[in-house]
A and B are shown apart, each in its own frame.
Chain A
Amino acid sequence: MTNSISFLSAAIWIPILTGLFLLSFGNDRNPAVARTVALIGSLAGLLATLPLYTRFDTASAKMQFVELMPWIERFGVSYHLGVDGISLWFVLLTAFITVIVVIAGWRVIEERVAGYMASFLILSGLMIGVFSALDGLLFYVFFEATLIPMYIIIGIWGGPNRVYAAFKFFLYTLLGSLLTLVAIIYLYSKSGSFSILDWHALPLSMAEQIPIFLAFLLAFAVKVPMWPVHTWLPDAHVEAPTGGSVVLAAIMLKLGAYGFLRLSLPIAPDASHHFSGVMITLSLIAVVYIGLVAMIQTDMKKLVAYSSIAHMGFVTLGFFIFNQMGMQGGLVQMISHGFISGAMFLCIGVLYDRMHSRRIADYGGVANTMPKFAALFMFFAMANSGLPATSGFVGEFMVILGAVQFNFWVGLIAATTLILGAAYSLWMYKRVVFGAVANDRVAALKDIDAREWSMLSLLAIAVLVMGLWPRPVTDVSEASVRALLQHVAVSKVK
């Protein structure tokens, strides 16, 4: 199984090393060099991930591209990487979004450019590390280490209230993950191994599974974020620079949802079934209640932040109804949300760079001055509300189908998202883009330039292709999801 070329290691370490290079040699006198180095680094990272897709064996549910080396011998910790159908797309998504973020920060960030680019590159490598780690401690190290660059990104390049948001982000997530650390050490103490795959096979009594599940839940629910531990997200999104919001929404939230699939469900299957009612309820609250909350927001970034929480509610719903359709739908939804929410935040960033306001009330009639932008923004707003032929539709539709198989009423409540999503996305779009030109500043707006056009249209293509032809994602994940569901269906209580 071991591959001669370590694609995963390359995908992790190329961005991190580029980032460290920028930190050590970059200075503020020649930002252009820093930008170019960052772009090359992120593109090289993306290239390193492409063979993962082309050489991936979709028929197998096993881990592929496995790399295994001893790391901390005293505890039997190893540098153990690998991807299966569940994680592969997240690796690709992360590398892709990093390129977009570098382009998005090209002209907007003028201060401490090297540091900005370095933070994002290091963050990118760490997140790929989370998605490909098969050793529990390695997973945890990557998972926690992502906090550092994000804290710095929000704190240095963020908005006026950035310090508060950075602290809230860091401490909130740390609270969850510290208890996970206790659970991870407990699992090690019990099994004598840090390998996640060994933990999957470890028999555990119900009395052990429940605390373990809850410890994982706390970490992952905060990260997803699920209602009611979501309150850090709107603050973090609003204060973060555009690139930070994009990475946060497109990838970091997925770390939590991915954690459910990689750790919670397979390690504590009985507890997962035991708590599935609670999880489904929390997910539905996120879909409906947070959907309503999104509608009344006056700040565009906050609105999209809440919409992210609602969409992630769909993902957790898909996971905890335990059927093939729902779980695959959840995965599709995550990838799709990565593209769409990233694009939405970029669109808001485009407006913010020009007007320095995120308030919906400050806009109106943008279509008159920025027609190209209005068209792309329209497309993403539609995708965000789940328009057929966009990727947003595929995931939501699959989860709703799965939910109806599980229970008609759950499916029905979940389906309200199609209405709510359309309401908050399109209503915001209408107020910002349509109508008469609201004020002089809107009248003076310039349409998007080639750089902005290219990054948005790249995302638009991704959303459209995935909406019309989701097979690449569903084919890749099918075998792994089936294996996971079979595993979860077998009780571990002996």
Chain B
Amino acid sequence: MQNLNFSAALPEILLLIAACAVLLADVLKRGVWGLDVGRTALIVLILPVLAILAQLGQPAQHALNGMYVSDAMGHVLKLVACAATAAALVYARSYAVDRGMHRGELYALALFALLGQMIMISAGNLLIVYLGLELMSLSLYAMAAMRRDHAISTEAAIKYFVLGALASGFLLYGMSMIYGGTGTLDLAKISHSLGGLAPANAKVLIFGVVFIVAGLAFKFGAVPFHMWVPDVYQGTPTVTTLLIASGPKLATFAVAFRILAGSLIGVASDWQQMLLVLSVLSMVLGNLVAIAQTNLKRMLAYSAIAQIGFVLLGMLSGIVGGSTNGAADAWSASMFYLVAYVLTTLGTFGVMMLMSRDGHEADDIADLKGLGRRNPALAFVMLILMFSLAGIPPTIGFYAKLTVLKAVIDAGMIWLAVLAVLMSLVGAFYYLRIVKTVYFDEPVDTHALSPLPSAHALLAINGALVLLLGLLPGPLMSLCASAVKQAFGG
């Protein structure tokens, strides 16, 4: 009871107040300084961001009796998550207005989902992990179902809810087994207790690890726990898709890091095997099935599965023959990969939302035809994003692949690296096809594209960032590396 240290959790506290303020503003029908609820949400989001920025560079702090951790890795991931939510809301503005979604619920729920992500990222206890996860998931389920009159959307929401609840169940079951095995829910204490476990307890613990990994794989959308991904991506409104595709992956990564690399590093060889299977299956299935898609969102869903395979590849490659010396490098590679991926994904769905208009979703690949003529700036951003997803230099996606491949090769798993590059060759095909549709095909849809200036400008910055970080990837790479190193206590 002595060490509450609330100030460490200041970003979350501010975000909670901000989200409540948005709810109130909606009820009272007035925003800050006469702004509408969407803009209010963006403005109040600045508060938690400032709080995180103020914490940057400080040594790791524990709060609420170890329930909560605030460290460099958390700061980086939280900043990216905040940026992702903010960008999604900017891109979504006219999209939401057209679809009658421009209401307080959208913005409040987005902020609550973000709060859930930030709690997951900073969790120091399995219960807090679960709490954050549920807060995030429930907000997103509701957002997926926001278009009540839309059949596909409703179906996707039900699927997302049922399978998401199943995943939460897995995770909770795994946590209970870990508790049974070690007698604690505190992540720091679990790792201490691993050494002296009785054989029966150790067995229970391993069972628990299996369920934890399965639950995380569900949330990541890794094969064979990927079934919800394509349907949910395709069915939900694009703004929700973007929110599902970005922040939750960052938060799940943080949880995976804190549980697997933090607490359970002692049984690394057990979870390494599972991640290996998940990773290989995800890369193969994701890339191959993506080729057959005609719906852009569905294609991006399979592409997300394939990209997660790469993230998992980095996570598993830090352990060589029981030695965990390379783990910091490997996990930082994964983190860099994920940040790069989120940055790129934001832009892709952003383009899609900017192309949509009232009653037209613009989510088929064919909708992109001739974009190069209709709007050269949007088209060029799309070109950069697609080459980044394909991992072609000079974009950030290339360096993401490079760092992960380096971790894999350092671990001596050359065959895995070869498999990974062959699969990214397959991936290059369907990303190239998007470029082809954008630039080589003649436009079919001749509606004038007139995106909001704010969204257009943000998209230009988004594209420029993908390119600029491709020319100078060093700082972000080092940031990820030092953050992960600090989390490992180095």
Which A positions have Cβ atoms within 8 angstroms of B? 23, 71-75, 137, 140-141, 144-145, 147-148, 151-152, 155-156, 162-163, 166-167, 170-171, 174-175, 178-179, 181-182, 185-186, 188-189
Besides A73-B474, A178-B421, 7 other A-B contacts (C-beta < 8 A): A23-B380, A74-B477, A74-B478, A147-B392, A166-B436, A182-B418, A182-B421
A188 and B406 in contact, given A174-B428, A178-B422 (Cβ under 8 angstroms): yes
Question: What are 19 residue pairs bridging A and B, where the CB atoms are less than 8 Å apart in the complex?
Answer: A23-B380, A73-B474, A73-B478, A148-B392, A152-B435, A152-B439, A155-B436, A155-B440, A156-B439, A162-B440, A170-B432, A171-B425, A174-B425, A178-B422, A178-B424, A179-B418, A181-B402, A182-B421, A185-B405
Chain A residues near B432 (CB-CB < 8 A)? 151, 167, 170-171
Min CB–CB distance B376 → chain A (angstroms): 8
Roughly how many angstroms separate A280 CA and B315 CA in the complex, as a whole number? 44
Indicate if the CB atoms of B402 and A163 lie closer than 8 Å: no
Which residues B437-490 have CB closer than 8 A to chain A?
A: 439-440, 472-474, 477-478, 481
Chain B residues near A178 (CB-CB < 8 A)? 421-422, 424-425
- Chain B 74-115 near chain A by CB (<8 Å), digits 1 or 0: 000000000000000000000000000000000000000000
Give the A-B pair count, Cβ closer than 8 A: 85
Indicate if the CB atoms of B440 and A163 lie closer than 8 Å: yes
Which residues B400-446 have CB closer than 8 A to chain A?
A: 402, 405-406, 409-410, 414, 417-418, 421-422, 424-425, 428-429, 432, 435-436, 439-440
**Does B341 interact with chain A (Cβ within 8 Å)?**
no
Chain B residues near A174 (CB-CB < 8 A)? 392, 425, 428
Indicate if the CB atoms of B393 and A140 lie closer than 8 Å: yes
Q: Which residue of B lies closest to A27 (CB)?
A: B376
Chain A residues near B422 (CB-CB < 8 A)? 178
**Does B218 interact with chain A (Cβ within 8 Å)?**
no
Chain A residues near B417 (CB-CB < 8 A)? 182, 185
Chain A residues near B337 (CB-CB < 8 A)? none
Which residues B361-418 have CB closer than 8 A to chain A?
A: 372, 380, 383, 387, 392-394, 398-399, 402, 405-406, 409-410, 414, 417-418
Roughly how many angstroms separate A156 CA and B439 CA in the complex, as a whole number? 7
Indicate if the CB atoms of B440 and A72 lie closer than 8 Å: no
A189 and B425 in contact, given A144-B398, A181-B405 (Cβ under 8 angstroms): no
Indicate if the CB atoms of A166 and B428 lie closer than 8 Å: no
Indicate if the CB atoms of A141 and B421 lie closer than 8 Å: no
Min CB–CB distance A122 → chain B (angstroms): 11
Residue from A74, A166, A175, A181 in contact with B474 in the complex, judged by beta carbons closer than 8 Å: A74
Indicate if the CB atoms of A145 and B425 lie closer than 8 Å: no
Indicate if the CB atoms of A182 and B414 lie closer than 8 Å: yes
Indicate if the CB atoms of B387 and A141 lie closer than 8 Å: no
Indicate if the CB atoms of B474 and A71 lie closer than 8 Å: yes
Min CB–CB distance A422 → chain B (angstroms): 39
Q: Which residue of B lies closest to A72 (CB)?
A: B474
Q: Which of A148, A152, A167, A175 neighbours the largest number of chain B CB atoms within 10 Å of its CB?
A: A148
The 4 nearest A-B residue pairs measured at CB: A178-B421, A141-B393, A72-B474, A155-B440
Q: Which of B393, B394, B436, B439 neighbours the largest number of chain A CB atoms within 10 Å of its CB?
A: B393
Residue from B372, B409, B436, B440 in contact with A189 in the complex, judged by beta carbons closer than 8 Å: B409
Min CB–CB distance B257 → chain A (angstroms): 19
A145 and B393 in contact, given A72-B477, A178-B424, A189-B409 (Cβ under 8 angstroms): yes
Chain A residues near B383 (CB-CB < 8 A)? 148
Roughly how many angstroms separate A61 CA and B425 CA in the complex, as a whole number? 38
Chain A residues near B409 (CB-CB < 8 A)? 182, 185-186, 189
Min CB–CB distance A476 → chain B (angstroms): 30
Roughly how many angstroms separate A189 CA and B409 CA in the complex, as a whole number? 7
Roughly how many angstroms separate A23 CA and B392 CA in the complex, as a whole number? 20
